[in-house]
Amino acid sequence: MRHGKYPFIIGFLAVPVALYATFVVAAYIQTFQLSVASWSGFGPIKYVGFDNFVKLWNDDLFWKSLRHNGYLLLLLPIVTIALGLLFAFLLNVGGGSKGGMTRGVWGSKFYRVIFFFPQLMALAIVAVIFGRVFASDKSGMINGLLPDSWAPWLFLADERWALTCILVVLVWQAVGFYVVLFSAGMGSIEHEIYEAAALDGATRVTLFFRITLPLLWGTIQTAWVYLGIAAFDAFALINIMTVDRGGPDGATSVLAMMIYRNTFEYSQVGYASALGVVLFFLTLTFAALTLRVTRRDAV
Query: Can you list the domains of the chain with their CATH numbers?
Result: 59-294 (1.10.3720.10)
- Whether 75 shows a pLDDT value over 50: the answer reads yes
Q: What is the pTM of this model?
A: 0.85
What average pLDDT does the segment 42-71 reach? Answer: 93
What's 188's DSSP letter? Answer: T
211-245 burial string, b = 16+ CB within 10 Å, else e? bbeebbbebbeebbbbbbebbbbbbebbbbbbbeb
- Specify burial of residue 195 (Cβ count, 10 A radius: 0-12, 13-18, 19+): middle
Amino acid letter for position 258? M
Please state, in angstroms and rounded to a whole number, the distance separating the CA atoms of residues 124 and 168. Answer: 15
Q: What is the structure's pLDDT at 245?
A: 45
pLDDT class for 153, splitting at 50, 70, 90? confident
What average pLDDT does the segment 198-221 reach? Answer: 82
Q: What is the structure's pLDDT at 70?
A: 95
- Whether 74 shows a pLDDT value over 60: the answer reads yes
- pLDDT tens, residue by residue, 218-235: 899 999 999 999 999 889
Judge contact between 35 and 277, C-beta under 8 A: yes
Q: Which residues, other chains included, contact 164 with Cβ-Cβ below 8 Å and sequence gap of 6+?
A: none
